[in-house]
Structure 1
Amino acid sequence: MIGIGRTTKGSVKAIAYASREEKGRENEYATEISRYGLVGDTPEAIYKELMTIADLNHRVSKPFYNVVLSPLSENTLDWKLEDWEKLVHDFLNKKQLSDNQYIAYLHQDTNTSHLHLIINRIDFNGINKVNQRFIGIQTSNLANELAKDRGWLSVQDLTREKNLQKVKLYGDALKEALKESNSLGELEDQLQEKGYGLNLQFDQNSDLKGLKIFQFVEAEENKKRKENNKKPLNIGVKFSELSRGHNDFKKLKAISVQNYLEQKSEVQIKQQEVVQRPKNYLRR
């Protein structure tokens, strides 16, 4: 689960965005999940109530704590509003903010449903309850903790698992193509038949110093992103990643691929020479 948090000065516009009452967002929708210490029905009224309490502590220049909690979509497919409300309360309890003013909205008009929380850092006694030091890291760590409480993999765990799967998939493709190849050119041809491409880097001595294997569909997707002025994705797998994460390439360098193919080629040439060499028969 992704958790994003920051402290802000607060504004009517920020509340209007969270509640989807901002001008220009008439076709978007937000569901209020829960609130505490607030009775206003409009962003203006809610902001005024929040500032009334925030003004109890003039030493805090950014009295609001804005949070986004975004679980993976597969983890919330069957969720009801009560489940989202529990997530809000669990977050506030762990952060010891249950008695502070807050309002929480659920956005479901994007690919991933997520919560927006607007929390007053100042409690009803004028005490600042949120230390803003490393607030982003604090929020992210707490989101991971809530995910683990629910038996979910953290974003880091999922990313690591996906990377391992990708390294195995691409490494296996390279391994199979190497079996059928005797040169880098043949290797490229074999991989092309499987839907993969190679980016090769050589040093001044024509020794292979870098290799990246990628899928053509990835390259095509990046081409489309470039045409649409979008940031390209990091595609493919470098040989250094295979060296760290694939059993068949552990601790090897890219030049090992070149050496392996050259040795195979030499063996094949010698075998052909043996076959083509005329037989010497003993004269009787």
Structure 2
Amino acid sequence: MIDQWVDVEFGGQTVKVPKGGYYDRFRSNSDLDLVARDPAAGNIDFFRRIPKQKVPSRVGPIWAPNFYYRSSSVQLLMTAPIERLAAALPAPLEPLRPLPGKGLVALTFFSYAVCDNDPYDEVSIAVVVRRPGAKGSHVGQLMGDIRRRNFCAHVLALPVTTDIARVRGVQGYQLPKWLTPITVDIGAEVTASIAAADGSPDLVLRAPAPVFHDVPSQSRLGSNTMFHQVDGQWSQTLVQSNTLSYAQELFPKGVTLSRHGGPMSDLLSGLGASRMLRLDVVRDAQLVLNTPTRLERFA
């Protein structure tokens, strides 16, 4: 429980952050030698090869990229009717079609235990999209994306649990973020939930504990690319990952996803997300969130 807060300014707004926390001390320009002394951060050698720089942004100069030193996540990949996904995407984005008449929706619960923005949780609903300028079959792109562990998506919703995460996401990236309660627990059972803004249940995911694979740092690198508009211009935002402990299950058994009629439940139902294709549970990973860059193919 955090008992002391300080006010900080970002993008013309004042928000509260934990006193003495990473954002209070570093303002996203973390001193890695100091971070390395924090036992909660773990081994941070991965971040030493990615220098931070002061870069321009829509809210003025900021330090980037943003580092997430210790994170976990639960992702459920589901199929949905292609016509519903196409209707949800802004032109010229196109949903990936790996199955006849079907596209892919990813529901992901994130928990960031140690990061530049201080601890918070987040939930994403995203449509897997065709890579801009891609040639060849949609199945071929999906196979290549799986092989490279590099996926492309458009995020439709991205609620969070802290004000600094909300303000940075909305002001800096123009992502669809709002504040709401979220829980993620990876233990004897995997549970994750998100509530509506009034605290009533929205989505609840439960799954049996999977078998985890622990791997050496930087042996399982990957990335995701978000395509979104920033001030009316198409941009891409790269998220790099260094996975340390993970589990994957195709056509997972014993997984339940309860929908209680909140905004995230309604969004999934509106997309027609139904059949569960894959469950990914990451017990430990490191992430790097880069700033948006202009996507020239859509310019």
For this structure pair, what is the TM-score category when the shorter chain's length is used for normalisation? under 0.3
TM-score by length of 1: 0.21
Q: Please tell me whether Structure 1 or Structure 2 has the larger radius of gyration of its CA atoms.
A: 1
Say which structure, 1 or 2, has more relative contact order (CA 8 Å, 6+ apart): 2
TM-score by length of 2: 0.20
The structure with more strand, counted as a fraction of residues? 2
